Amino acid sequence: MIKTKKIYKIVSILFYIVLNINYLFALDLNNIQNKVKLDNINTKIYNVTKDNAYINIPNLKIGQSGIITHIYNNNKTIILSYAKVIESNKLKSKIQFINFRKLYNRNLPSTTLKPFNNNQLILNYLYKRSILITPTKQSYIKIKREFNKNIFLNSNIIAADLIILDDEFPNKKYLQEFSNKNEIGTIFIVLNKNLYILDSLTFKILYKLKLDYKLEDIIIPFYNKIGEKNNIEDQNYKDMYDKYYEKLLGI
């Protein structure tokens, strides 16, 4: 009888621990999701000049980007320009237009029409379509799980593309051009126990979040199953990964 009570007590304690671990994990996930805002924000632009405009949305991040659209009478919509946030305060934000032709995507129709007052800005455009760069399988899986509303391009696709181009690591120009061609809005990079979320158009860091993961089975240039190179005993792999992406991010 005493033995049965002890077993029951141990089982109860284990059950309590499991419940609390799940609860803490849920809290952590909710905190991350509350901090990171990737949903589209629609608003009208005003005080439009040749290069700039204003929007009535305060406290934005410098480097956030979006698209300026125009709706015709037949309800058809066309993209007039890309735009990025260059100033933001407690009342409003200032945006700068980005030459649409420089970022030409053959999948999108082009126009000579320029942005004007009351056109719509869609901020955070394509932010939920992302590239994910991580050093390990564990961190790759963890990010995909915690940002389950994002569509992450399979890392094997980028790895295969780099092999074709005979490049070992993806540089800034490559990531921006690849993102534009494949309609990617954000780049997630895991580095030194942190997650950096970048705007793929401006390459500005929007968020930096703590991320816990085991430093084992480091893969360069990032986790993938095609051109992977890893050695769990070689510190050089971690150093190569860290130094490259630190330089890429400018940190």
Comparing CA positions, the residue from 39, 11, 240 lying closest to residue 149 is 39
Helix, strand, coil fractions of the chain, as percent rounded to 5: 35, 25, 40
Banded model confidence at residue 112, pLDDT cuts 50, 70, 90 = confident
Q: What pLDDT, on the 0 to 100 scale, is given for residue 213?
A: 84
Asked if 67 and 125 touch (Cβ cutoff 8 Å), the reply is: yes
For range 19-31, the mean pLDDT: 43
**What average pLDDT does this structure show over 218-227?**
86
Residue 28 pLDDT more than 60?
no
Relative orientation angle of helices 137-146 and 2-35, to the nearest 10 degrees: 80
- What is the percent of the chain with per-residue pLDDT over 90, rounded to a whole number? 64
* pLDDT number for residue 238: 84
Q: Name which residue leads in pLDDT, 34 or 67.
A: 67
Helical (H) or strand (E) element with 151: strand 151-152
Summarised one tens digit per residue, pLDDT across range 129-152 is 999 999 999 999 999 999 999 999
* List of residues 6+ apart from 102 with CB closer than 8 A: none
Q: What DSSP state is assigned to residue 57? A: -
The domain spans of the chain are: 1-35, 41-123, 129-249
Contact 84, 64 (CB under 8 A): yes
Query: Would you place residue 71 in the very low, low, confident or very high pLDDT band (cuts 50, 70, 90)?
Result: confident
Average pLDDT, the chain: 84
Work out the number of other CB atoms within 10 angstroms of the CB of residue 163. Answer: 13
Q: Residue count of the chain, please give it.
A: 251
Strands (E), 36-128: 41-44, 52-55, 65-71, 77-88, 93-98, 120-123
Q: What is the pLDDT of residue 32?
A: 64
pLDDT of residue 16: 39
% residues pLDDT > 70 (the chain): 78
Residue 58 contacts residue 90 (beta carbons within 8 Å): yes
Q: Which one has a higher pLDDT value, 234 or 23?
A: 234
- Is 41-123 a CATH 2.40.10 domain? yes
